[in-house]
């Protein structure tokens, strides 16, 4: 799903009406209806609802939601933060359709009056004060209304975007911004919906009538949704066999780090691939083989330090024959001899490949040897590994995650999966996709190894659609973490818990792919 700027969203609305003949009043009606539907499905017990409305189109959406909720038997109080005479166009038309009078508030003193206080006694607030066209800061009466919402204990549902937020901001925001327990926005998200941490709850993106042809953006930015992945993880044909879903070779492990390769290997299978083989130093093969019965293993020559030796090159090349995809790096160590082997393998082997962890560190200062031209090459760095590859600091990477990932993907003609809060998946051409699943409980050793196995396992199943396979793996990986957080919390979650959550993550994604509106995780 595309992410668009606030100005592009206005252009989409205009094009929808002017080029595709959908009246602007219809768009507003559909937007308000989406908000009302959300309230009825997620807050059915709320009987008294206060709707804060500004004088613009965001307020118009609120008027529609109020009218529709009133029809469903809800007690509604509209608080208009303006004089009714200031309303124009569609907002004025929708205000005229309200079934009961609104409380028009003209000043901060009126908002603090006894009459207003009584009107604000409700089970739920709708925030329809300021939309995505607003540029901060907010002040005066609107700021006072935001303060009332923020001080309340009832749930607050933002219409389009929390009032006071900058829709184009791509990071955390400061200033006077309304609290939101959920957001219902329209057509496609804006950057702040995805990057702005505007709600700890869900963000729903409702289709209100704009055709796909009207949704145009120059941002080259998208958000991963279940709907994008539905075809990749649908029901399997009855005549399936293990050969139908690819065979993966994982090259990794070393003395003291055998678990990383083992976790990647079993994640391959949990992601749905047919076969998984882990090639690892012979001294740690028993540890890897004992991790899970379904894993196949191959012993490799090793250095005195218990890492994979350069003499393993021919054996690995032989093992790669007939494999659908390969992952290299989990637990492989930074031994100089092993690093040389990694660089040689990446250059020599042309099958679809995922490089992670110390496999990436092998290219520090030698990124000219890391190129994916003419093949599928995916790298999955965390910010520290990305900093080493880019020759910068972690702080510099974190300051411009999107720019750094795009630059590296373009220059090296490969797919970058830059891990972290809002993991980015960037194509060689610069198109970027943002993941909204996952949580802080996943900030623990080994979750990256699970992701490596999932990415290569999904690619093995869909080698002709490798980028979409990578998107699916990233989304499911984060969702598995969210599933396990529900039972374990964030403090006790460990990497292998994600393997337990994957089946439910698949089920939820399959279900969500069929649902409307689209839901983005908080």
Note the pLDDT of residue 91.
98
When computed from its CA atoms, the radius of gyration of the chain, rounded to whole angstroms, is 26
- DSSP code string of 73-125: T-EEEEEESS-GGG--HHHHHHHTT-SS--EE--SHHHHTSHHHHHHT-SSEE
**Sign of the Cα pseudo-torsion (358, 390, 460, 426, in order):** positive
Whether residue 300 contacts residue 280, with contact meaning beta carbons closer than 8 Å, is answered with yes
**What domains, with CATH codes, occur in the chain?**
6-217 (3.40.50.10260), 245-520 (3.40.1190.20)
Beta bridge partners of 312: none
Helix runs in 204-348, H state only: 226-229, 258-270, 285-289, 313-320, 336-348
Q: Quick one: pLDDT at residue 115? A: 80
Predicted local confidence at residue 415, as pLDDT: 98
SS3 434: strand
Residue ranges of alpha helices (H) inside 282-335 are 285-289, 313-320
Tokens for 122, please give them. Answer: 């409700």
Nearest partner of 389 among 419, 415, 369, 361, judged by Cα: 361
**How many angstroms separate the Cα of 221 from the Cα of each of 159, 419, 449, 469?**
23, 17, 26, 18
Specify whether the CB–CB gap between 161 and 86 falls below 8 A: no
Please, how many CA atoms are within 13 Å of residue 7, restricted to the half-sphere of its CB? 3
Q: Residue 403's CB: how many other CB atoms inside 10 A?
A: 12
- Region for 273 from its dihedrals, namely left if φ exceeds 0, alpha if ψ lies in -120 to 50, beta otherwise: beta
Phi then psi dihedrals of residue 260, to 5 deg: -60, -45
C-alpha closest to that of 502 among 475, 470, 462:
475
Q: What are the pLDDT digits (tens) for 121-139?
A: 889 999 999 999 899 999 9
- Spell out the per-residue pLDDT of the chain, length 522, in tens: 999 999 999 999 999 999 999 999 999 999 999 999 999 999 999 999 999 999 999 999 999 999 999 999 999 999 999 999 999 999 999 999 999 889 999 888 888 887 888 778 889 999 999 999 899 999 999 999 999 999 999 999 999 999 999 999 998 888 899 999 999 999 999 999 999 999 989 999 999 999 999 999 999 999 999 999 988 999 999 999 999 999 999 999 999 999 999 999 999 999 999 999 999 999 999 999 999 999 999 999 999 999 999 999 999 999 999 999 999 999 999 999 999 999 999 999 999 999 999 999 999 999 999 999 999 999 999 999 999 999 999 999 999 999 999 999 999 999 999 999 999 999 999 999 999 999 999 999 999 999 999 999 999 999 999 999 999 999 999 999 999 999 999 999 999 999 999 999 999 999 999 999 999 976
Q: How far apart are CA 196 and CA 217, in angstroms?
A: 19
Which pLDDT score is estimated for 522? Answer: 60
Nearest to 368 by CA among 405, 412, 414: 412
Q: Residues with Cβ < 8 Å from 61, sequence gap 6 or more?
A: 28, 31, 32, 35, 128, 131, 159, 160
Q: How far is CA 5 from the centre of its chain?
A: 17
- Nearest alpha carbon to residue 224 among 458, 505, 34, 470: 470
Q: Which of 406, 409, 506 is nearest to 461 (CA)?
A: 506
Task: Give backbone dihedrals phi and psi of 2, rounded to 5 degrees, phi first.
Answer: -70, 150
Q: Which two tokens stand for residue 455?
A: 């990415």
């Amino acid at each position: 799903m595309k992410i668009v700027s606030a100005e592009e969203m206005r252009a989409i609305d205009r094009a929808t009406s002017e080029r595709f003949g959908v009246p602007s009043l219809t768009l507003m009606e559909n937007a308000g209806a989406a908000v009302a539907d959300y309230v009825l499905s997620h807050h059915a017990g709320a009987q008294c609802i206060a709707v804060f409305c500004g004088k613009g189109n965001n307020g118009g959406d609120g008027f529609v939601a109020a009218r529709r909720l009133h029809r469903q038997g809800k007690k509604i109080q509209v608080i208009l933060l303006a004089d009714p005479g200031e309303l124009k166009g569609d907002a004025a038309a929708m205000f005229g359709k309200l079934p009961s009078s609104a409380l028009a508030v003209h000043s901060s003193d009126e908002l603090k009056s006894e009459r207003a206080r009584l009107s604000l006694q409700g089970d739920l607030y709708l925030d329809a004060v300021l939309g995505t066209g607003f540029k901060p800061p907010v002040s005066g009466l609107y700021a006072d209304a935001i303060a009332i919402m923020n001080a309340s204990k009832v749930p607050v549902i933002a219409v389009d975007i929390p009032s006071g937020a900058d829709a184009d901001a791509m990071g955390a925001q400061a200033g006077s911004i309304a609290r939101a327990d959920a957001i219902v926005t329209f057509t496609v998200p804006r950057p702040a919906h995805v990057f702005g941490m505007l709600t700890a709850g869900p963000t729903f993106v409702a289709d209100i009538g704009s055709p796909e042809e009207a949704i145009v953006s120059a941002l080259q930015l998208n958000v991963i949704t279940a709907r994008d992945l539905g075809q990749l993880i649908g029901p399997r044909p009855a005549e399936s066999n293990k050969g139908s879903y690819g065979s993966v070779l994982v090259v990794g492990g070393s003395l003291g780090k055998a678990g990383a390769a083992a976790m990647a290997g079993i994640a391959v299978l949990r992601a749905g691939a047919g076969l998984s083989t882990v090639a690892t130093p012979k001294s740690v093969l028993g540890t890897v083989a004992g991790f899970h019965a379904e894993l196949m293993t191959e012993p490799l020559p090793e250095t005195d330090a218990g890492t994979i030796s350069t003499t393993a090159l021919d054996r690995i090349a032989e093992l790669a024959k007939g494999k659908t995809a390969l992952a290299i790096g989990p637990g492989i160590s930074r031994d100089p001899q092993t690093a040389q082997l990694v660089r040689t393998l990446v250059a020599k082997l042309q099958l679809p490949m995922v490089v992670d962890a110390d496999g990436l560190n092998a290219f520090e200062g030698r990124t000219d040897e890391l190129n994916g031209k003419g093949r599928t090459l995916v790298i999955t760095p965390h910010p520290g590994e990305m900093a080493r590859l880019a020759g910068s600091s972690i702080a510099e990477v974190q300051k411009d995650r999107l720019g750094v990932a795009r630059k590296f993907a373009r220059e090296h003609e490969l797919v970058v999966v830059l891990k972290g809060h809002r993991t980015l998946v960037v194509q060689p051409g610069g198109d970027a996709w943002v993941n909204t699943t996952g949580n802080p409980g996943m900030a623990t050793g080994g979750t990256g190894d699970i992701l490596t196995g999932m990415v290569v396992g999904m690619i093995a199943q869909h080698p002709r659609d490798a980028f979409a396979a990578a998107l699916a793996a990233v989304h499911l990986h984060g969702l598995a973490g969210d599933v396990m957080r529900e039972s374990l919390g964030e403090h006790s979650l460990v990497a292998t818990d994600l393997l337990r959550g994957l089946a439910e993550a698949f089920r939820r994604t399959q279900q969500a792919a069929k649902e409307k509106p689209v839901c983005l995780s908080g």
